[in-house]
Amino acid sequence: MATQAPDHVTGPQQIPARLAQREPSSIFAPWPDRLRSSALILLVAGLVLAALAIFGELQAARAVAAFVCIACAALVPWRLHNVDASSPEALGGNPVEAPAVSAMVAGMPDPSMLLDRAGRVIHLNAAAAQLAPALRKNELAQFALRSPEIITALRQAISTLEPQRVSFHDHGPVDRWMELSIAPVTVPTMFGGKDTCMLMTFHDQTPLRRIEEMRADFVANASHELRTPLAALSGFIDTLQGPARDDPKARDRFLGIMHAQATRMARLIDDLLSLSRVELSAHVRPNAQVDLIPIIRQVADGLEVLAKERQVKIETELPDGPAMIAGDREELLRLFENLIENALKYGASGGRVIVALTTASAPEGTPEIQVRVRDFGPGIPPEHLPRLTERFYRVSVGDSRAQGGTGLGLSLVKHILNRHRGRLVIESVPQEGATFTACFPQARASAAQ
């Protein structure tokens, strides 16, 4: 989003422009006060000495010598005062208003500002002005930055001249976690001197914090998912060692349940490992040329047993020729396995699952291969559709567990498609079934050959 910097923000070009904007009200108006007084003294002295010389009261050479002495007396202290570089009046602003310093602050990517040792703002960039719109040049920064953490850190930095780093929570219209670093820096002044200023830089830590929160949620969810079958397993072990020790019927039944729970745990660990593998290689696009048709056939054939068990017929509508994409065979097997297995598990009541491959145009007009997995089961209520690919998200946790689900299948599908630079489209009309379409960019003819 393009944002415009307010007028008071210093950009690299702004100092000459600001000086040029001043409208002098008199001949001396644009001059600093002390220089203006000196010029007035010189003018008066010049006129008096000239009059005395004209009326013969003073020799011309003496008059000139007297004028030079008066000029030195008037101008030298003014010059010394400015070489000292401590006067904020020089040129009407802070002596640190050197274009190079200003350009450096303006060019910093994070919100940044330079303060003098009194805590007054000398320069600030557009990002800082956006972060704290009340900041004004030549005003104390603490008036605009009211957070006690910032003020304490700034006081500390000014008094000790040691760098400071502080984190704080910014309760603005959007809650943010910010980190502020204050570094004392020595900057050149306009008249060849040096001054120590405070460089304040803010870093937005919110995205990092969000990732940390997501990671913590993920670990909590994964532990919870693993603990459930583990608790069941240890419960049955206790029963088999105790009350059911001599009951062969109960033992067989419990062993069956334990087997199912152990399988679920193994599947969950498998899915977690696959997910982390795909995430690790997310930025590397697979480059092997693979034909999707035999992959889809292999998955459909492998799921025939499950389909028979659920009394569902798998119908494939695949073209005769190859359908080449740049892909990873193992990941694609996993992707279609998840989609077709979900259709068999959750859409079993429809009795049919159609797997069709077609070529079409992506919304941006590029050719793509679309593999549609359609079932005729109960479908998915629309409010769940946007969240289906989140890890551990399920429409009904009980249903998913009963089907041996982990809640990770569609998340894995999404990540595999991302790695293949593809996309997943989910459509569903409740009571009429669900359609999951995996779209892949089509391999260029030359690459496919």
Distance CA 376, CA 315 (A): 12
Interface residue with ligand ADP, options 10, 38, 342, 437 (CB under 6 A):
342
Site for ligand ADP contains 395 (CB under 6 A):
yes
The structure tokens 């101008």 sit at: 75
Site for ligand ADP contains 422 (CB under 6 A):
no
Distance CA 88, CA 79 (A): 14
Q: Tokens representing 314?
A: 């798998």
Binding mask 354-393 for ligand ADP (x = CB under 6 A): ---------------------x-x--x-------x-----
DSSP 57-95: SS-HHHHHHHHHHHHHHHHHHHHHHHHTT--TTGGGS-T
Closest approach of Cβ 441 to ligand ADP, in Å? Answer: 24
CB nearer ligand ADP, residue 120 or residue 394: 394
Interaction residues for ligand ADP, span 255-314 (CB under 6 A): none
Interface residue with ligand ADP, options 82, 338, 370, 437 (CB under 6 A):
338
Interface residue with ligand ADP, options 202, 236, 336, 346 (CB under 6 A):
346
Interface residue with ligand ADP, options 34, 120, 394, 414 (CB under 6 A):
394
> 3: left (phi > 0), else alpha (psi -120 to 50), else beta?
beta
Interface residue with ligand ADP, options 407, 415, 419, 442 (CB under 6 A):
407
DSSP 296-347: HHHHHHHTHHHHHHHT-EEEEE--SS--EEE--HHHHHHHHHHHHHHHHHHS
Site for ligand ADP contains 226 (CB under 6 A):
no
Closest approach of Cβ 370 to ligand ADP, in Å? Answer: 17
- How many residues lie near ligand ADP (CB under 6 A)? 21
Site for ligand ADP contains 38 (CB under 6 A):
no
Asked whether the beta carbons of 245 and 254 are under 8 A apart, the reply is no
> 405: left (phi > 0), else alpha (psi -120 to 50), else beta?
beta
CB nearer ligand ADP, residue 82 or residue 338: 338
10 Å CB burial of residue 404 (0-12, 13-18, 19+) is middle
CB nearer ligand ADP, residue 45 or residue 344: 344
Site for ligand ADP contains 343 (CB under 6 A):
yes
Asked whether the beta carbons of 406 and 269 are under 8 A apart, the reply is no
Closest approach of Cβ 434 to ligand ADP, in Å? Answer: 4
Residues in the chain: 449
Interface residue with ligand ADP, options 95, 111, 327, 405 (CB under 6 A):
405
CB atoms under 10 Å from CB of 124, counted, come to 29
Interface contacts to ligand ADP, rule CB under 6 A: 338, 342-343, 346-347, 375, 377, 380, 388, 394-396, 400, 405-411, 434
